[in-house]
Amino acid sequence: MTAETQIKDTVTSNDVVLFMKGTKTMPQCGFSSRVAGVLNFMGVEYADVNVLADDEIRQGIKDYSDWPTIPQLYVKGEFVGGCDIITEMTLSGELDKLFDDQGVTYDKDAAEKIRAANA
C-alpha cells in the first residue's frame, strides 16, 4: 500500500484525523501539542497519526494536502489546516461551527473556556 493510499484511507475512514509529530497522549513538538491539546480539551474523538514513525507518511501528507507543515487536521476527509489556522478557528468559534456542521461531537463548554482564557 502506498503512503497516498494509506493517507486517503485514514482521512476517509475517520471523522477527525490529526497528522502530528508524536501522539495525542505524547506530542513531540509544540505545534502538534497545541492542536492535540485543543482537541483533547474539547473532548473530540480523533485518530492521531504519528508522522515521525514513518518517513513516507511524513512526506506523503505534505504532498497529499499541498501544505508544507505538520500538524495537519482533517475533518470528514477535508483538510482544515495546521496549528495557526486551528488556533484562530478555535478562538473565533469557527472550529465549533465546522464541528457542528459536520456532526462532530465536542464539549461546547470546553470550547467556551478556551476562548475565555484567551480573551
Domains of the chain: 3-117 (3.40.30.10)
Judge if pTM exceeds 0.75: yes
Closest CA to 71 of 103, 23, 15, 113: 23
**1: pLDDT strictly greater than 90:** no
Measured over all CA atoms, what is the biggest interatomic distance in the chain, rounded to whole angstroms?
A: 46
Residue with cell 473530540: 44
Whole-angstrom distance, CA of residue 111 vs CA of residue 24: 18
**55-97 tens-digit pLDDT:** 999 999 999 999 999 999 999 999 999 999 999 999 999 999 9
Distances (CA, A) of 20 to 39, 43, 77, 105, 110: 13, 18, 16, 21, 22
Contact between 113 and 106 (Cβ < 8 Å): no
